[in-house]
Structure 1
């Protein structure tokens, strides 16, 4: 016997049916996005098979004890106790990550920087160039309470360290008067509460901002090709305390033999403090200069010798000082 559906229920069923169909279609789409994310994760972590969850608003997974390693002339390593990754379902180009007890390190000719922190966040955005090849659009890393070393000078500790990198496509060829190669990459650095030196012997906390422009004939894919092709790095760093700017570095880095040569100038109102920090010595008490002086800096990395800092004026002791301001801080 057939039971007829009461007429008064048809409007409700008709209203709910499109919603149910929409949810079913979206569920299939979400499952496809999740499968794509799982494929990407399998490439990043070959020994793992992370499962993606987070329906319906996000794609999310957690990896315990992750390790990412890149071998070659430039070696990169990332390890952590735990890493959580997530994406928006319709934004596969952007991955957001939160990690616990992480360590980042690199080994390249002349430098071995490293940093670790109890927690960190990062966002990775990839896109494709005109030839369809994958390109780093942006990598941003934020590390509270970071500890590490640049490989040049003393160790450091920062209340907050930020690193932002991206690959660039040159918009036009440089003018004939500019002998430098086009800019192919950019790294932006920011640090708050930055202290140099071993724990318990650290200098005064300062803030620092900087930028490194990587120049190359082609894409930044191979160290040997970059070095052989005349690659270089333009480096700008500025350090400040609560009173004002302490130093500003403008330097270039070029490959030389099995290492790197760094040469440039430092503009500073605290030349003795800057020189002592770079040389690994203790600075004499010093008041800030009214007008900054310019020092020259050059070093070869790696080297057991301290950077060569020159240019201290012969009349430095008699130059006008800002006695009303706090004295120069000890930087390391």
Structure 2
């Protein structure tokens, strides 16, 4: 009799658990489908790799070794990593997060060939689709502690090191068709740069904040199509613990096989800025009380051939901030 009662109690319990068991089975099938899609995506991103996704039930995750990613063309972009861990949420195929070790990022375009290395770093990649169904870069954020490398002007110099380097890029879809009489070109993309403890060559550590806004009649997907009308608006500032050292406002325009840089530099340390551009050791300089604005122009790649005009003739007699630390060596 006791066995019958116990058996009768089991059935209500099993019936109560049945929806949960069925739900887990259905979710397991859905998760396996999401994992297969992620594996297919990663195999397309990293040819030669055979990713296996794990992380059930909360995430999709895989780890790859000896990773290499490249885009060849008029603009070459390359990334290598000794080890790379990638993951995304089961319901968020548009967002991928990565942690890497032994990282190398490099690009080659007319006028510039930057290269960055870092022992480790993190990144998040968010993609979206426009009304025409094309995939667009909604956001790419990269954080690289202990980064080093070079901007990649002529003769590879100067080199740099940074305690922390951040890069944030996005593709911009113009809001509408610009008017025929509108002289401004529609925005196509943006790159935001932040660096702490940045040392250029043998220069002192400074903080750098920069923004590059890409404009053009054509999207920045094929260099030749974009370069006919394209330009890049630059805004870069550098500061130390005492305050702002310089602020660059300039434009980059494709010219032949290079880039033409033209704009202005506002600075309280004009001699130090001039020495940094020339690649020489600056003399001792106290900060100006009021910044001066200088014109800057160069054709990249041009090494040290950077024209800086507008240095005031009365610079030696201008008021200085003697109570503040002297201008740091910038390069």
User: Under TM normalisation by the shorter chain, which class is it?
Assistant: over 0.9
Note the residue ranges of structure 1 that are not aligned, 5 or more in a row. none
1:310 is the counterpart of 2:291: no
Give the superposition deviation at 1:15: 2.1
- Out of 183, 192, 217, the residue aligned to residue 188 of structure 1 is 192
Deviations 1:14-64 (A, max 9, x none): 221111111101100100000000110111122111111111111111110
CA distance, structure 2, for counterparts of residue 35 and residue 265 of structure 1: 52
For the Cα contact (< 8 Å) 2:277–2:304, is it kept in 1?
no
Measured in 2, the distance between the counterparts of 1:176 and 1:238 equals 34
Which residue is 1:44 aligned to? 45
Could you tell me the TM-score, scaled by structure 1's length? Answer: 0.95
Q: Which residue of 2 aligns with 1:271?
A: 270
CA displacement, residues 64-94 of structure 1 (integer Å, 9 cap, x when unaligned): 0100011000001111111111111110000
What residue is the counterpart of 2:172 in the other structure? 168
Q: CA deviation at 1:212?
A: 0.4
Contact 1:280 1:306 in 2 (8 A): no
| CA displacement 1:160-187 (0-9 Å, x = unmatched) | 0000000011124557775221111000
Displacement after TM superposition at 1:6 (Å): 2.4
- Provide the C-alpha distance between the structure 2 equivalents of 1:248 and 1:166, rounded to a whole number of angstroms: 23
Structure 2 residues not aligned, in runs of 5+:
none
* 1:63 paired residue number: 64
Deviates more, 1:92-101 or 1:212-221: 212-221
Provide the alpha-carbon RMSD of the alignment: 1.5
TM-score scaled by structure 2? 0.95
What is the CA–CA distance in structure 1 between the aligned matches of 2:66 and 2:299, rounded to whole Å? 37
Q: Is the counterpart of residue 281 in structure 1 residue 280 in structure 2? A: yes
**Does the CA contact (< 8 Å) of 1:62 and 1:83 recur in 2?**
yes
Match of 2:260 in 1: 261
Residue in structure 1 matched with residue 22 of structure 2 by the alignment: 21
> What residue number does 1:89 align with?
90
